[in-house]
Chain A
Amino acid sequence: MLEVSGLRKVYRSQRREVEAIRDLTFTVDDGELVCVVGPSGCGKTTLLRCVAGLLGPTGGAVRLAGNAVTGPPPGMAVVFQEYGRSLFPWLSVHDNVDLPLRQKRVPRPRRAALVSEALTAVGLDGTQQSNPWQLSGGMQQRVAIARAVAYEPSVLLMDEPFAAVDAQTRAELEDLVRALWQRLGVTILFVTHDIDEAVYLGQRVLVLSASPTVVQDELLVDLPAARDQLHTRADARFTALRARVYEQIQAAKGAQPNTAISS
């Protein structure tokens, strides 16, 4: 279980302090897919970096399976928005997926199997020897997803992974994430600014307020587990849920407290 309790993050510079996150408390159960959505600039990425152990919180704690997260924990994989900047341009697609496994000291035969399985799962057979920059944006993000999948994480963090790909690719990748999640039983925390995406993907949606951030609302997505782009998005329940999230975000934007505290 992933627990975030009383998380607070204040960025300090010489001149001023900016309170990005005021107080976030939520949990994600094992095998759950939770989407986090909020108005732009509400500290979604800060939250994700804290959860990933890449950023130390000012207050509160993140716990993974009961252990406090103080650095990047083993068993956690991250997919970033900027696919072009999160893959090693000097390594081939194969080596990009393989390198984290080597660091984890996975035996060679197992590594080979994991890499080719993961690349097949994301539909990237036959690109192993290419460099990432030879692929399209959508394919690059597939490589990043393959790298995360091959790592066999217990928790997968995704930071607006599809914000920079075109709409059709995005729909395909959304279905890919749901399919992988159902097959692997991995816990996913999916950060997005896209309301439709949050409702379409998640079992649960956390709506964040504007910065300084608190949890504005939390809702259960009671849609059937088998979802598809055409029917799910036309479903009356889907429309109702997205309307609710939309309202909450509008409300969050309206009630903006001061963001800067002078020191």
Chain B
Amino acid sequence: MIRRFLTVLALPVTLFLFWYVASRTSESFYAPPLRTILVAFGDTWTWPRLRADVLPSLGRLAAGYLLAALLGVGLGIAVGASRRLRAAAEPVLEFFRAVPPPVLVPVIMVFAGIGNAMKVIVIVSGCVWPILLNTVEGVRAVDAVLSDTSRAYGITGFARLRYLLLPGAAPQIITGLRQALSLAIILMVISEMVAASNGLGFTIVQFQRSFAIPQMWSGIIVLGLLGFVLSELFRLGERFALGWYHGRREAQRRS
């Protein structure tokens, strides 16, 4: 356990030390010594600042991500379960997936303003595609024998969704959710950079524009930490939801 912990920590600590040592004597205005950045970090990210800027960002992120998950999984199940719907929807889906989400920001601003709704819509419109497409694939990949078994034993309607389609597609759905998570963070920051009055993206841009460079760097570190914590939380959730999947893979590898 301790060994695993050390292995996990080894590389980040090394990188951090390298940055610290390499930037020690830096004279550059734009790349100050890490020591300066860390001091700025402590001064900048105090509780009032966290409440004023980080919490709103997290709120938008959560709202957009959860909404995208609901939409993506819901529509994905419907499209995946119906061959006709799939044939009709697939080209459209591929089109929307190919549109880079950040270009939607100005478009969405036009009709959704610059409030929270705009940010949530931006996050949803970018995150929904990987979730949707992975769910479609997951539902299609549900085992045919298991599907026959369900039908033969009268497991239909809602029970089919609850006991066959959702768990069967879960490994793929979770892959989509993982991709969407990093997308969501990116879109949250971008939407706040373009137009906002608070939030992490807004704060970082403010620091940059007022030449508070160490503070700007400290904001970027906050973003990195946020991404790390969220992905670790995601992993815990995945382990809980897909225990059967990993267990079975392990069992198959052994035999």
Q: Does A131 contact B (CB under 8 A)?
A: yes
Provide the B136-154 mask, 1 if CB < 8 A to any CB of A, else 0: 0000000101101101111
Q: Does B102 contact A (CB under 8 A)?
A: no
A245 vs B154: C-alpha distance when bound (angstroms): 36
Find the B residue at minimum CB distance from A104. B154
Known: A72-B152, A90-B167, A100-B154. A80 touches B145 (CB 8 A): yes
Known: A89-B248, A133-B247, A133-B251. A99 touches B163 (CB 8 A): yes
- A residues 82-106 in Cβ contact with B at 8 Å: 82, 85-91, 99-100, 102-104
A147 vs B251: C-alpha distance when bound (angstroms): 23
Q: Does B244 contact A (CB under 8 A)?
A: yes
Quick check: B153 and A77 within 8 Å, CB to CB? Answer: yes
Q: Does B159 contact A (CB under 8 A)?
A: yes
Quick check: A85 and B143 within 8 Å, CB to CB? Answer: yes
Quick check: B149 and A74 within 8 Å, CB to CB? Answer: no
Quick check: B149 and A86 within 8 Å, CB to CB? Answer: yes
A89 vs B159: C-alpha distance when bound (angstroms): 16
Number of interface residues of B (CB under 8 A): 22
Minimal beta-carbon separation of A26 from chain B (angstroms): 21
A131 vs B143: C-alpha distance when bound (angstroms): 17
- B residues 197-255 in Cβ contact with A at 8 Å: 244-245, 247-248, 251-252
A177 vs B167: C-alpha distance when bound (angstroms): 31
Q: Does B81 contact A (CB under 8 A)?
A: no
Q: Does B155 contact A (CB under 8 A)?
A: yes
Provide the B119-161 mask, 1 if CB < 8 A to any CB of A, else 0: 0000000000000000000000001011011011111100100
A184 vs B153: C-alpha distance when bound (angstroms): 19
Provide the B14-29 mask, 1 if CB < 8 A to any CB of A, else 0: 0000000000000000
A102 vs B152: C-alpha distance when bound (angstroms): 14
Residues of A within 8 A of B170 (CB): 90
Q: Does A134 contact B (CB under 8 A)?
A: yes
Quick check: A74 and B248 within 8 Å, CB to CB? Answer: no
Find the B residue at minimum CB distance from A103. B154
A164 vs B175: C-alpha distance when bound (angstroms): 32
Quick check: B148 and A134 within 8 Å, CB to CB? Answer: no
Minimal beta-carbon separation of A221 from chain B (angstroms): 27
Q: Does A260 contact B (CB under 8 A)?
A: no
Residues of B within 8 A of A133 (CB): 244, 247-248, 251-252
Provide the A140-182 mask, 1 if CB < 8 A to any CB of B, else 0: 0000000100010000000000000000000000000000000
Residues of B within 8 A of A89 (CB): 244-245, 248
Residues of B within 8 A of A103 (CB): 153-156, 159
A71 vs B151: C-alpha distance when bound (angstroms): 9
Quick check: A99 and B155 within 8 Å, CB to CB? Answer: yes
Quick check: B154 and A72 within 8 Å, CB to CB? Answer: yes
A91 vs B247: C-alpha distance when bound (angstroms): 12
Find the A residue at minimum CB distance from B145. A85
A77 vs B154: C-alpha distance when bound (angstroms): 10
Known: A131-B244, A133-B248. A49 touches B148 (CB 8 A): yes
A80 vs B144: C-alpha distance when bound (angstroms): 12
A52 vs B145: C-alpha distance when bound (angstroms): 13
Per a CB cutoff under 8 Å, which of A52, A54, A71, A131 touches B247? A131
Residues of B within 8 A of A104 (CB): 154
Q: Does A78 contact B (CB under 8 A)?
A: yes
A52 vs B152: C-alpha distance when bound (angstroms): 7
A72 vs B149: C-alpha distance when bound (angstroms): 10
Residues of B within 8 A of A82 (CB): 145
Find the B residue at minimum CB distance from A85. B145
Known: A85-B143, A89-B244. A78 touches B159 (CB 8 A): no
Known: A49-B148, A85-B146. A151 touches B244 (CB 8 A): no
Which residues of A come within 8 Å of B, CB atoms?
Answer: 49, 52-54, 71-72, 74, 76-78, 80, 82, 85-91, 99-100, 102-104, 131, 133-134, 147, 151
